[in-house]
Structure 1
């Protein structure tokens, strides 16, 4: 499709959309922050934090006793940290998005939270021995900051692209992320694999890898902040008001708009379900594989195996994102997402009943790689078309509550099941309810009507210049 260029819909300078330099700067942030998604959330930090906690309190020993409601155990500690981070995001992210829409601070707020996250990630290098509680705290801070930056990052998508280019730019942004995260993961794989020859303790190699994720994130993000342009003009605060109080009032306005946009609200509810499932599979996969294939058999976790399998996922997911971009072009974005969700449900069933060897883990990982990028990128681009102009960060603040690596109900369910049963397989199977609910709700949502209700164009209408 040929891109049509329209001036930005804002009160500020009439900056052109679909500008290659600015679009590249936007995509490179996915390259930058995917270091956190891959090295920290998906691969190394979960198994590492779980193992050092188990060394102190036992295989499923108590980390925090919650009295009559149960306890946080060494096995459920990491999923609980994920849930705490997301629970806090429920209150923080929508408000931050509302402030960003009202003010002209979206880019500055993105930079602030980016480097808070970078600092917390770098400090994970010092987590060892009995400092597992510090590790949990740093992960919560880093994950909160990561989620905040994605609110603003996603909010720029509508600023810099027209409707007919959203699927393409969103999918290629994810492709950049898989490539960037994959490159760093490859370097970390070589480091962990060569730890003995380099005279490094395996845990030191992991800690250096955690440090590298923070450095990578912060370094490449500089390109993004040098190329993205601020489009809105500064607004004077009402007398006696602060950005915080304005943020709360704007948040109320956002929820009133959502109540009016019934089809957008229905889509968002469906997304919160199926993306909770996706993000929990991603964030818990390394722990699941480490515990089921190694720890449960009395073996030391093969960190090299975990790195190599996730490295494969990163690179194959590049082609998966581009494949589903093409599928969406042929059959529509909604239909392409539904196909990916059916495949996700199949992954959960396979992991529960059929995964017993490392070879079978490779099979599951290939299917994850194929559907991973498509489901995420297309969900984001489809939602972006349902947002009224000028409300992007506010709506994406709510969207981000269940975005990459920040799901809430999924890890809570996973952690509760594994704490109660001691079985990671049953915990994995419990996630299928999120995919089933998401498929049903999305199928019943009229996404075309949602786009028109928000005052936006369908991709084919934008391509025709209507």
Structure 2
């Protein structure tokens, strides 16, 4: 009979930094699942779709370029063309509030996979519910988008918080790059299918049919997101963080822990310095992505088919680019590789400035260059940050990381808009974005990365 004074055995927790190939593959597949929302919904279909629905609510035909009517959500007069940008701004503001709390909860819970399931399925369900956004139901569409976008950001925080447990300091760059690459591949495949369907089944002179095809494309992204989320939920292991407690209320404990973390951020100034650098250069990257189509249509006078082919080119080449830069990082380190990628981004901006109008082949070549550098710079930034997070704070710190990713995405477009208004030139507006890459490079170069990793209590990788 067992000695009653012997403590009960503690359930085995996976060793930090150790994982099986099956578990890592499961983690990669969440990038494959969620990227459909980024590409099919956010990048291509949702903006034009909701704008058309809002036009109908304002009493205009969906095939008119300008609508003289207005809608009045919450009694506020809004032009149909402004409705979606306002929704994006509102969802970003709410996401900024939600992400650190989600991270704090992820660090406290014993069931991180359940939190991933809740956030992912909530976002996927809201996306699938877009099937009911017909006629003039612009308010329903706006509410579902806000819910889906917040849930998407929250799920990314939980997903990223698994990364430090999947590999040691020398392995994370490769793991992060493979996840990012698979995400671009998955998002690109679904987008390609949806674009083929829309191009094949649209009828000239029937804008309602095109609108319906766009709605079902959005719904397909929600289904894709939900179905492929089952893979990480099946293959990932629960990895309770060092600060997890089986007792107590995880929600209220999460809020309290978030308060303690905010007060304790000053203990890790070098980690915050990295976040500042990431905030600056990532804003430049996000602005280039957001404004590329506008630049192509308004300044370079390119047709829609050229833009569609270029979008797909970027998606699929970003798959190879993420893997290639991951391989480079293995040889020279993530820090140096991200710095090199920012030099390449500067070259992309200068090339775009000199690009002649009505030159689709050259525009596609520029898109190929963006694809090659895009995935790697983002994936390696994520893995580099994972080295600077104190153990047990992964969720919270990735919450702040996602704020740096999403919460300041208005800075670049604002700079672009102000310069365009002063000069009436899209080319000069684009060149104004150089400041984000130059300052971001200088800030990142000034971060003492090895010292930052040691200050967070972690072991630096062999090469940085």
The two structures share one fold, judged by TM-score above 0.5: yes
From 211, 217, 228, the equivalent of 1:209 is: 217
Task: Return the offset for 1:82.
Answer: 2.6
From 266, 273, 278, the equivalent of 1:271 is: 278
Query: Contact 2:157–2:402 at 8 Å: present in 1 too?
Result: yes
Match runs of 1:115-264 below 5 Å: 115-127=121-133, 130-196=136-202, 201-232=209-240, 235-237=245-247, 242-264=249-271
Query: Contact 2:420–2:428 at 8 Å: present in 1 too?
Result: no
Partner of 2:93: 87
Match runs of 1:11-90 below 5 Å: 13-16=12-15, 17-50=18-51, 59=66, 77-90=83-96
Query: Contact 2:286–2:409 at 8 Å: present in 1 too?
Result: no
CA distance in structure 2 between the aligned counterparts of 1:353 and 1:287, rounded to whole angstroms: 16
Cα deviation per residue 1:59-94 (whole Å; 9 max; x = unaligned)?
A: 48786899xxx9976555444433322221221110
Gaps of 5+ in 2: 1-9
CA distance in structure 2 between the aligned counterparts of 1:127 and 1:231, rounded to whole angstroms: 39
- Using a 3 Å threshold, how does the CA distance of structure 1 residues 292 and 51 change in structure 2: closer, same or farther? farther
CA distance in structure 1 between the aligned counterparts of 2:446 and 2:132, rounded to whole angstroms: 49
For residue 164 of structure 1, give the secondary structure of its aligned residue in structure 2.
Answer: coil
Scaled by the length of structure 2, the TM-score of the pair is 0.84
Moved more, 181-190 or 280-289: 280-289
Task: Return the offset for 1:349.
Answer: 4.3
Query: Contact 2:283–2:408 at 8 Å: present in 1 too?
Result: yes
- Using a 3 Å threshold, how does the CA distance of structure 1 residues 387 and 215 change in structure 2: closer, same or farther? same
- Using a 3 Å threshold, how does the CA distance of structure 1 residues 27 and 364 change in structure 2: closer, same or farther? same
CA distance in structure 1 between the aligned counterparts of 2:122 and 2:462, rounded to whole angstroms: 40
CA distance in structure 2 between the aligned counterparts of 1:132 and 1:418, rounded to whole angstroms: 32
Query: Contact 1:79–1:412 at 8 Å: present in 2 too?
Result: no
Task: Return the offset for 1:208.
Answer: 1.8
Larger Rg over CA atoms = 2
CA distance in structure 2 between the aligned counterparts of 1:140 and 1:407, rounded to whole angstroms: 17
Match runs of 1:370-409 below 5 Å: 370-403=372-405, 407-409=408-410
Task: Return the offset for 1:223.
Answer: 0.8
Partner of 2:6: none
Cα deviation per residue 1:279-336 (whole Å; 9 max; x = unaligned)?
A: 2332443455455566xx9xxx73x544322211111111111111122223221121
Gaps of 5+ in 1: 1-10
The CA RMSD over aligned residues, in Å, is 3.4
Task: Return the offset for 1:156.
Answer: 0.3
Relative contact order (alpha carbons < 8 A, sep ≥ 6): 1 or 2 greater?
1
Task: Return the offset for 1:211.
Answer: 1.2
Task: Return the offset for 1:451.
Answer: 0.8
CA distance in structure 2 between the aligned counterparts of 1:260 and 1:62, rounded to whole angstroms: 53
Moved more, 334-343 or 196-205: 196-205
CA distance in structure 1 between the aligned counterparts of 2:339 and 2:321, rounded to whole angstroms: 15
Cα deviation per residue 1:241-291 (whole Å; 9 max; x = unaligned)?
A: x43432222112222443111211100111112112222332443455455
Query: Contact 1:385–1:456 at 8 Å: present in 2 too?
Result: yes
Q: How many residues align?
A: 439
- Using a 3 Å threshold, how does the CA distance of structure 1 residues 346 and 128 change in structure 2: closer, same or farther? farther
CA distance in structure 1 between the aligned counterparts of 2:50 and 2:143, rounded to whole angstroms: 11
